[in-house]
Amino acid sequence: MKITNKLKVLFMTLIGLLVFGCTIEDGKDLNGPATSTVSEGVSRTELPQVVSGILADMRDRLNTQIDVISVVGRDYWRHQSSDPRWTGDLMTGVLDDNAFYLTTPYAARYAVVKECNQLLQGLENSDPNLTTENWSDSEQGAIRGFANTFKAYELLSVLNMLYQNGIRTDVADPDNLGGFEGYDAALTTIIGLLNSAATDLAAGGDVSPNTLGVSYLEFNRALTARAAAYQGNYSLVLSALEDSFMDFSGDMYLGAYYQFSAAGSDELNQLFFALNSTGANARIAHPDFVSSAEAGDSRKGKAVKRTSGELNIGGLTPGTHDVYIYKSSTDPVAMIRNEELILLYAEANMVDNPGEAEMAINVVRDAAGLDPVVPGTVDEDRLLYERRYSLFAEGHRWIDLRRFDRLDELVIDRAGDNIVTQFPIPQNEGQ
- Could you tell me which residues come within 8 angstroms of residue 87 by beta carbon, excluding any fewer than 6 positions away? 77, 78, 79, 313, 314, 316
* pLDDT of amino acid 19: 35
Rg value, the chain, Cα: 21
Q: Which amino acid is at 1?
A: M
Say if residue 373 is exposed, middle or buried (CB neighbours under 10 Å; 0-12, 13-18, 19+).
middle
Residue 227: closest CA among 151, 332, 113, 299: 151
Q: Which amino acid is at 278?
A: T
Q: What share of the chain is helix, strand, coil (3-state, %, to 5)?
A: 50, 5, 45
57 secondary structure, DSSP code: H
Say if residue 16 is exposed, middle or buried (CB neighbours under 10 Å; 0-12, 13-18, 19+).
exposed
Cα 237 to Cα 201, 224, 227, distances in angstroms: 19, 7, 8
Is the bond leading into 318 cis (omega within 30 degrees of zero)?
yes
Rounded-to-integer distance, Cα 121 and Cα 154, Å: 18
β-strands 321-323, 303-305: how paired?
Answer: antiparallel
Rounded-to-integer distance, Cα 188 and Cα 206, Å: 25
Is the bond leading into 209 cis (omega within 30 degrees of zero)?
yes
Residue 347: closest CA among 412, 404, 308, 282: 404
Residue pair 139/206 in contact (Cβ under 8 Å)? The answer is: no
Residue pair 192/175 in contact (Cβ under 8 Å)? The answer is: no
How large a percentage of the chain has pLDDT more than 70? 90
Please tell me the pTM assigned to this model.
Answer: 0.91
Count other C-beta atoms under 10 Å from residue 97's C-beta: 14
* pLDDT of amino acid 264: 86
* pLDDT of amino acid 125: 87
Rounded-to-integer distance, Cα 272 and Cα 276, Å: 12
Residues of the chain with pLDDT under 50: 1-36
180 three-class SS: strand
Residue 101: closest CA among 75, 80, 121: 80
Domain residue spans of the chain: 1-74+82-210, 282-323
